[in-house]
Structure 1
Amino acid sequence: MKVFAPVLVFQKIPSGRGRDKSSIQCLECFGKNLYIGTKEGLVEYITVNSVSGEESLSVREVGKRQMGRSGAIGQLTAVPFLNHLLVLWDGSVTALNMFSLEPIPALKKIQNVSLFYVSESAVQTDSVELIAASAKRKIVSVYKVCVDRWECVRQVALPQEPVALAAHGTCLCVATCDRYLLHDYQSQTTIDLFQHNMGKQNIIANKCGKGEFILNGPGSLGMFVMKNGTSQHPPVQWPDGVVDAAVHFPYVLALQNQTVHIYSILDQQLKQTVLLQSAKSLVSTEESVFVVADKEIHRLSPVPLEDQIQELVKRQRVDEALTLLDRVQDLLPKDSYKDLHKNVICTSGMIKFYREAFVEAKELFIKGELDPREIISLYPAMPVVSKDFTPQTTAVSNAKDLWTLSRDDWPTFQRYLRFLDDFLREVRPTGQGQICPRDIDSALFKLYLEQAEYEKLDQLVSSQNDCNLQMCVPDLEQHKRFFTLGLLYQSQGQHSNAIQTWVKIVEDQNEYPLHISVFQHIVNTLSNLKHKPIIRKFVDWVLLRDQVAGIQIFTKMHASSHIMFAPEEVLTILTNYAVAMILYLEFLVNELHSKEGKHHAMLISSYVKWILQSIEGDYSNETSREEMRHKLQMLLWQSSLYNADTIYEQITSSSLHMEKAILLGKSGKHKKALQVLVYEEKDQQAAASYCWRTSAGRDGKFTQGMFLTLLQIYLESAHHVIAAVDLLNQNAASFDLVSVLRVLPGSWSLKLVLRFLCESMRGTVHDKRMRGLEMSLAKVETQRHKHAWMEATHEKIRVDRGCVCHSCQERLTGPEFLRRPTGELTHISCHGGESGH
């Protein structure tokens, strides 16, 4: 994997005088400025046109500085803050101007220095700290370096001579001849890390991050150590003979003489090797890593992280790509990270998809917010309605051709179809599904139709959907799914087409039998429709087929609280439909409790007309006719919003004797009503019931009069003697004994009316005793009130002149007062207010 791109930056040109022994010893970089230290004590200053640009770079030499006749430049460090270039040569540190390479007179050389390190001052902002190690003296000296001066502020003694040095703040990481250690010169604490074998390995101690160092540990392990002695990353196993190491997150570079090995800090795996001749050191900057060789300087420019991740995704190393992406999230733009993350997740989902790990694939597709059309487009014959859609999913090596699978391995293809159904249904209500609702619904439609999952198909098209009508209508007609076609029209707002489609089904029921009542569905649809012209268009068709079901169109409107028709409009529509008219009037009167006398009269007239026609035509069975008569009688009894005389005229010549009696009673003609029941209806029980029902809520005298009238009617004919006796015996409490004795014939024996007389006398005695008891209770209550009054007025009470009357709130004017049982005071004579009391 390519994570760094090598570019030749500088090549030392041979002088042409025999064998050129000059070689590059060290390098310092700041921006486009490069400082090269040679083996002959020469400091060269060059610039390059760009540190992150093209493969070919133009190099310009700016200046040179010969430090002495011989001796290699050991180390170069630029201090841009001060415009200083610090040079380690001949065991001393010299300060030069960064741009002119002239020595700074005010800064004298620091002697006896083996190696040094520059770090920012932990406390001051106008200086840096120079940490100089002396192998000869076995000490580390800390210098405060300013523009025109430097001074030693601290010295740290070492147990052995130092061979490598790095620092972070006040923490020094020092490698001696046999071990690595950390020393904080401010807190004076030292941590022994681990030993090394200097004879068998190169000693490396470099700073590699905030508070972190990279060390060449035992066993050729690249050890990451924090300044507190802990480690945040596992060690990297690199090859033997590593001469230098540098970190450019998230990679660590290990340099051998001929090769640069590049490892990932995240998984410690080797990612890339770069071959270079005679390489000796690495210099890491924020933008890149420079490799110093004897005659050349190469720059390793990192491949953009986005490109690295995309390359990993293309190679299906999705776990590796996701790990890298999560760790470098802060180094990427927010939008770029989001897009990359989605791409990695979705590619991982595709790999799981083709492995038939459908549960995991679905979760990844949802998490990665995959465009559902990417999945739809994989299936044969599945429509992608969006014309502007182009698949963007990264191709994976384990991809299967679902077209071929559908022909050669139908069971496996069925599993893929079930996944499509599950995935689309889950994303359909989400924001992910709102990207392409028409494509999702059309794909589900096609899937359910082809798989004959008609229940799911009906659920889809009967709810709100975005199916493509141009595609779906021909498919449904081809499969003869006309009821579903109506549901589709209905969900798309084409109610007239929907109902017309269902009407055709009902009319051709024999040709297309269904397991559901399409006719009832039409009725339900019309009752919930909010479009009067469509209702008017189909209501006659419904009523002609079934008036009982058809009237639900109007009655259910009230239940759903969207009333499209006023009652008078409905009555006009129902003029030619007698049964429907009766049912609707019943709904108005019984359910809506209409107070319109017209509605009550129309319902009664409709009942009468239906009953009379059924009697004459004999087209209704006896049970239906009796049920209708029962309804008529109940309405006649209960309603008071009709004209009884008008209705009576309609049934005068009919056999509806009970109804005649009720109407006569409504007009106050009770005797005539009883005569109709006795002589025409010939129903003694009905006559007695009429008396009871008419007397309901009236006083006892009226009840006695009603029953006495019925008794007199019975006594008028010798054929009704038994009926008269039964009436007396069964309703003794409803008669006045004296009045009955006056009308009874003298020829009747005592035995005939003995039961009546006994019941009547018992009732009379009971009433007398009850009245006596009530009178006694009233007397007791009166005596109790008198006693309470006397107790309250037993003594007189003197009050001041300022006392106020409790009743009228006026000042008292009389001396006589009473104490109420409640304890309140009032007086007998008060002349306050208008009338006094």
Structure 2
Amino acid sequence: MKVFTPVLVFQKMPSGKGKDKFSIQCLECFGKNLYIGTKEGVVEYLTVNNMSSEESLSVRDVGKRQMGRSGAISQLTAVPVLNHLLVLWDCSVTVLNMFSLELIPALKKIQNVSLFYVSESLIAASTKRKTVSIYKVCVDRWDCVRQVALPQEPVVLAVHGTCLCVATCDRYFLHDYQSQTTLYLFPHNLGKQNIIANKRRIHFKWAWMQALFEMKNGTSQHPPVQWPDGVVDAAVHFPYVLALQNQTVHIYSILDQQLKQTVSLQSAKFLISTEESVFVVADKEINRLSPVPLENQIQELVKRQRVDEDLHKNVICTSGMIKFYREAFVDAKELFIKGELDPREIISLHPAMPVMSEDFAPQTTAVSNAKDLWTLSRDDWPTFQQYLIFLDDFLREVRLTGQGQRCPQDIDSALFKLYLEQGEYGKLDQLVSSQNTCNLQMCVPDLEQHKRFFTLGLLYQSQGQHFNAIQTWVKIVEEQSEDPSHISVFQHIVNTLSNLEHKPIIWKFVDWVLQRDQEASILTVITCLSTAEEEVLTILTNYSVAMTVYLEYLVNELHSKEEKRHTMLITSYVKQILHKLQQLLWQSSFYNADAIYGEPNNTSFLHVEKAILLGKSGKHKKALQVLVHEEKDQQAAESYCWRTSAGRDRKFTEGMFLTLPQIYLESSHRIIAAVDLLNKNEASFDLVSVLRVLPDSWSLKLVLRFLCESLRGTVHDKRMRGLEMSLAKVETLRHKHVLMEATHEKRIDRGCICHSCQKRLTGPEFLRRPTGELTHISCHGGESGH
């Protein structure tokens, strides 16, 4: 039979620039969102339209994030209800935003993690410490609520409720961390490396499925599937098990353990099962196996003349009903699934459970031990509670299979009603925040009646009604409704707006979030509307705090070089400082106003800032005059000279420092300041220029220290320049000597003997030269000459 249809989703083409190191290590899928973890430590985010069919398939590259310089991404897991993407890299769990791939700073890394599993909690295992840690995950934090010590190092981990299924180097066992009970399933002799490499998924996933769905007291009630040789991975997509060889996927039925289909795919290395399909992953490509609709499978049965299977299924479902009323719920569920029972048959048996399909009519055969569940709900609530637990288990089991796709709205609406009435709000929020087909006409009044307004917003959001969702949450904040939600509704609104692609909705709520909290809300403006700077600045005109944060983002993060942005940011700082100062002056009654305003040394404010502005305009003398005469701070004036001269030539430095004593000498009471400046910074002054500006009335003793240090420095500089010139001459001679040695000419002494061959040189060229002259001549003596 053809139960799955393959289609290519993603393929990495060769770059053509040397060796392509791209290699897919792990994969995560939620809805249309696809996340790829690579060998080079990169998380790539893709969106795939039309996830349920191979027709009109389109893949869009949304973004990527480099986690580090090296090291593979070991595991990716999405937590859609919180918009989180958990990344296992470098032995630590890091949390990213699912849509922007930005780090969530409030959630710090969990270190020393070898593998993890996400159910209602985050379960993290450490191989080194032989422990499993259970974390409660919230929007802005996680808390370690329990740690479980293991007898051996965990190699593979899965979780079902409070039960851990662990594979170690030599065995498999189940451990319930609430009851502290352990059930050892069976040993193996694969060795640690084989489990970690390619066999761990095959043996472990099959053992996990057997243990949780087909085992009682550790004993299997069904024969195992006979694997083909060379299997490298396996996955469960109910009611099928898929076994992967290097080039083939074998698809078996869980119900009868028979091979149903084989699919040929090149160089695949692992499988990922999702609610909608199964992904087959190779190093550089991803294929998807989509389930064939049930109607097509039935048509295929008719063509193959296997219609008698319908009668067989009816018998199986009737047997399931007998087991159901005997409260043998495990066997009943197995038979209902094997017989492909319409889920509405079970839903309609429970009181107050809605059946949304108007054309539905029960078709099950009546059985002798049938009970009236309506009466049971009134007279024997504990027993009826077991039937409700079965309903939840059965509907969740078939919800995303072909069996459940006959009536998705009926299943989702029944689960909604069940969770709401039973007060299972965690499951309720998980249902309505993921993709669902709940009937809004029924669900909205029920949520309003139970005052579950935050959940109502999640329901609107999951069905694409983003405006209604945010408007519902806004009412919670404004009216301070008694919604028992444990998260910050306002922060959830901000996060939702940050991830919205529909800009008109963002514009409608920007003013509202800014009025509530400018610092928290500006992130929405930055992330969503960063391409419209002028519009953002216009909106932020009345929000000074948000304006400052946004300008800091443009200047410091985006490194904007526009004069207008920098000027606005500086002006914003000035306004903030003056506003704070004015507030303190108005509100405080404990300061001395005369000491601040009337004293000679404290006549005004912001003189240093004025000096900086004058310096930026090149008016250094005016800047120094402000610091000396208005600020009356000699140290600030000296610091101004040093800071302004930094990185400039000596001539500029000497001119800058010469200006300051000239300003001091303009008034007689600052002579000591001028002398101190000269004595402390003699290296920064030109001696001749200083002597020209000093008054004739000054005694030699007054500036003796300055003169001595300056002369000493001048002599030192002269000697150093002489030494540098001598060293330069020596270096030049050394280079000439090296050049001479590199030539092939030989030097001749006065005896006309060649230093190379020790023969006397003769020849017209040499004889014509003056006697005793040292010269260079080519020697042609000897047999070969040189």
User: Could you tell me the TM-score, scaled by structure 2's length?
Assistant: 0.48
Bigger relative contact order (CA 8 A; separation at least 6): 2
TM-score (norm 1): 0.46
